[in-house]
Amino acid sequence: MMVRGPFRLFQHDYLFSEEHGATEMKDVLRFAAPIPILGQIAELVLRPYLRRFLQERNAMLKRVAETDEWHKYLYPIP
């Protein structure tokens, strides 16, 4: 849950479930712009942007999790 920032509401949750022996992660994103009428227009622009952002980020997380690349994030070499 957002504490401070430009949005009236910004809540991002992850839901994990098992699907055929694999882990499935779903993003649930709720947001609202601060100004009622102009905010609704801004939300029309922000919604596709945030969807693409989450899709690209999740693709990267999937790639890292399914390869040995995750080692460099848990055990960084000094």
Does residue 30 form part of some domain? yes
Does residue 4 form part of some domain? no
Long-range contacts at 41-50 (CB < 8 A, ≥ 24 apart): none
pLDDT digits over 24-70, tens only?
889 999 988 887 777 788 888 888 999 999 999 999 998 998 999 88
pTM (predicted TM-score)? 0.68
Does residue 3 form part of some domain? no
Contact between 16 and 25 under an 8 Å Cβ cutoff? The reply is yes
Does residue 31 form part of some domain? yes
Say what the pLDDT of residue 43 is. 85
CA distance 31 to 74: 31
Q: What is the total count of domains within the chain?
A: 1
- Residue 38's H or E segment, with its range, is helix 36-65
For the residues 12-26, what does the mean pLDDT come to? Answer: 90
Does residue 78 form part of some domain? no
Residue-number span of the structural domain to which 68 is assigned: 9-72
**Which of 33, 26, 34 has its CA nearest to residue 51?**
26
Does residue 21 form part of some domain? yes
Confidence band (pLDDT; 50, 70, 90) for 75? low
Does residue 54 form part of some domain? yes
Does residue 33 form part of some domain? yes
**Which of 32, 27, 34 has its CA nearest to residue 46?**
32
